[in-house]
Amino acid sequence: MRAIHIRDVSKCYLIYQRPSDRLKEFLTLNRRCYHRDFWALRDITLEIEKGTTFGLVGENGSGKSTLLQLIAGILQPTQGHMEIAGRVSALLELGSGFNPEFSGRENVFLTGAILGFSRQQIERLYPEIESFAEIGEFITQPVKTYSSGMMVRLAFATAISVEPDILLVDEALSVGDIYFRQRCMRKIHELQRRGVTIVFVSHSAVDIKSLAQRVAWLDHGRLVECGKPDRVVARYLAAMVHRDSEYQKHISPVARPEEGREKSSVAAPEVVTNIPHCDGRHGNGAAEVLGIAVLSEEGEELALLPQKASIIVRISVRAREEISMPIVGYLLRNHLGVEFAGTNTALEEIELPSFAPGDVYTIDFHLDLPEFYPGHFSFTAAIANGTIDSYEVCDWIDNAITLQAEKGRQVYGFLHLPCQIRVNAVVKSRVPVGEKP
């Protein structure tokens, strides 16, 4: 069953050089033309099946946002035909659809009314929206006082809570912090399982490949290709690399700043007592995580996660009760909430001594990082008691610290595996074209 059917759709805007030209054209009853046509979309044909997660890629100005606005019904096509089946909830430009003078609560009810919900229905959904947005007392303040992060929190919470059949997302999640984005991704996966049709725009190849089942590539308002994510994204990225190389030929080289990672000048203490963030904490309380830090090999705290370098993940723990078989570990997640890597002392066959009440230990995990796709990464810290197969969690702190990764060279997928390439080019004899070797 089709959720979205777009056939030969085009969208044209009239561009006037001066505001007065519009009046001149009107006064001549359109006998004289003072404008030029700008086609934001041209001859787009797409079919999106119900329950499909569909990605849109393309450079800025390629028509992605215009297409989402057409699907949402905000714009009407200049030419062509569209069929949309079901209730549409859209998370488009930051704050679009919100009245800046209204409070967050009033905007929630306004959005619900526009989508056809009664006040009683919105009253039922409101606690869930307020809880997910997590903007506290600002929910009763005018939206014009919100930061961009608060705005996207409220907008996303509203969009997903109104039980949409079709959800449209236009890069809005790039504004939120890593913890909120991870929560949003979990919610999007839940919507996927419920069979909601999702159409989203992203400049992240990893986001597109991990979420989308089909992808369309737009360029200057035209559909270049539509198909499986791996093929379409690879061709799109190759085209972008080619365009960038052509651009580099026409610009003068500039002096590059001295390379190096951003570091603090103060070495981290032996015992770490700082937990920068907590996105959820659980455990039986028999022991606690005191702190976590990410350090260079020299013991300096890192402000950026380096590429292809050695680092130390330092975790300090304290026993409140006797811990006979302690296990300390970490978990690394990327901005999508994907569990990127992780280990613990038991998996690495490091046997820790039993902890007496009050004992404090610091465990250093020395890691050799590969080259990986840039973005935000979070470390979770934990201590447990038991064995690999049978244990009790004493303390688990989700996303205890987050770091922005340094930007390196282009990486396909999540990480780059070290690779040696051997070219066997010895030719004993040449085979004429058309003959089998």
Q: What is the pLDDT of residues 90-135, one digit of tens each?
A: 887 666 678 889 999 999 998 888 878 888 999 999 999 998 888 8
Provide the pLDDT for residue 111: 86
Residues 273 and 362 in one domain: yes
Residues 114 and 238 in one domain: yes
**Residue from 358, 113, 41, 58 nearest 235 by CA:** 58
Q: List the single range of 6-15, 31-40, 45-54, 230-239 with lowest mean pLDDT.
A: 230-239
Q: List the single range of 86-90, 100-104, 428-432 with lowest mean pLDDT.
A: 428-432
Burial class (CB in 10 A: 0-12, 13-18, 19+), 244: exposed
* Residue 241 near residue 234 (C-beta atoms within 8 A): no
CA 100 from centre of chain? 26
Residues 179 and 119 in one domain: yes
End-to-end CA separation in angstroms for the chain: 50
Handedness of CA 381, 382, 383, 386 (dihedral sign): negative
Residues 151 and 201 in one domain: yes
**Residue from 336, 353, 354, 342 nearest 396 by CA:** 342
Of all residues in the chain, the percent with pLDDT exceeding 70 is: 88
Q: Classify strands 371-372 and 391-405 as parallel, antiparallel or unpaired.
A: unpaired
Of all residues in the chain, the percent with pLDDT exceeding 90 is: 42
pLDDT band at 181 (very low <50, low <70, confident <90, very high): confident
Identify the domain containing residue 209 by its residue range.
Answer: 2-248
DSSP string, 196-260: -EEEEE-S-HHHHHHH-SEEEEEETTEEEEEE-HHHHHHHHHHHHHHHHHHHHTTS---PPPPP-
Residues 244 and 289 in one domain: no
* Residue 265 near residue 286 (C-beta atoms within 8 A): no
Provide the pLDDT for residue 264: 38
* Residue 175 near residue 12 (C-beta atoms within 8 A): no
pLDDT band at 51 (very low <50, low <70, confident <90, very high): very high
How far apart CA 159 and CA 151 sit, in angstroms, is 12
* Among candidate residues 216, 248, 280, the one where a domain is terminated: 248
CA 416 from centre of chain? 20
Question: Would the pLDDT of 258 be above 60?
Answer: no
How far apart CA 309 and CA 295 sit, in angstroms, is 11
Q: What is the pLDDT of residues 322-380, one digit of tens each?
A: 999 999 999 998 877 788 899 999 999 999 999 999 999 999 999 999 888 878 889 99
Question: Would the pLDDT of 243 be above 80?
Answer: no
Torsion of CA 144, 148, 154, 156, to 10 degrees: 140
When comparing pLDDT for 233 and 412, which is higher? 233
pLDDT band at 173 (very low <50, low <70, confident <90, very high): low
pTM: 0.61
Among 368-377, 403-412, 413-422, top mean pLDDT goes to 368-377
Residues 173 and 287 in one domain: no
* Among candidate residues 248, 277, 297, the one where a domain is terminated: 248
When comparing pLDDT for 352 and 406, which is higher? 352
Complete edge-to-edge strand list for the sheet that includes strand 214-219: 88-91, 166-170, 197-201, 53-57, 214-219, 222-227
pLDDT band at 245 (very low <50, low <70, confident <90, very high): low
* Residue 284 near residue 243 (C-beta atoms within 8 A): no
How far apart CA 63 and CA 49 sit, in angstroms, is 21
CATH code where residue 211 lies: 3.40.50.300
Question: Would the pLDDT of 172 be above 80?
Answer: no
Residues 222 and 276 in one domain: no
* Among candidate residues 191, 220, 248, the one where a domain is terminated: 248
User: Per the domain annotation, does 254 fall within a domain?
Assistant: no
- Across the chain, mean pLDDT equals 84
Question: Would the pLDDT of 178 be above 60?
Answer: yes
User: Per the domain annotation, does 258 fall within a domain?
Assistant: no
CB within 8 A of 262, min separation 6: which ones?
302, 303, 304
How far apart CA 195 and CA 322 sit, in angstroms, is 48
**Residue from 274, 268, 202, 147 nearest 184 by CA:** 202
Residues 237 and 272 in one domain: no
Q: How many CB atoms lie within 10 A of CB 267?
A: 12
Residues 217 and 331 in one domain: no
Structural domain total, the chain: 2
Q: How many residues can be counted in the chain?
A: 437
CATH code where residue 397 lies: 2.70.50.60
User: Per the domain annotation, does 228 fall within a domain?
Assistant: yes
User: Per the domain annotation, does 339 fall within a domain?
Assistant: yes
Provide the pLDDT for residue 163: 84
Handedness of CA 263, 264, 267, 269 (dihedral sign): negative
Provide the pLDDT for residue 179: 74
Question: Would the pLDDT of 199 be above 80?
Answer: yes
Residues 181 and 293 in one domain: no
User: Per the domain annotation, does 158 fall within a domain?
Assistant: yes
User: Per the domain annotation, does 277 fall within a domain?
Assistant: yes
Provide the pLDDT for residue 304: 87
Residues 241 and 349 in one domain: no
User: Per the domain annotation, does 398 fall within a domain?
Assistant: yes
Structure tokens at 148: 């961009």
Structure tokens at 172: 């809005």
Structure tokens at 26: 């009107």
Q: Classify strands 263-267 and 339-344 as parallel, antiparallel or unpaired.
A: unpaired
* Residue 50 near residue 197 (C-beta atoms within 8 A): yes
User: Per the domain annotation, does 426 fall within a domain?
Assistant: no
Q: What are phi and psi of 418, to 5 degrees?
A: -55, 135
How far apart CA 414 and CA 106 sit, in angstroms, is 41
Rg over CA atoms, the chain: 27
Question: Would the pLDDT of 30 be above 50?
Answer: yes
Residues 217 and 303 in one domain: no
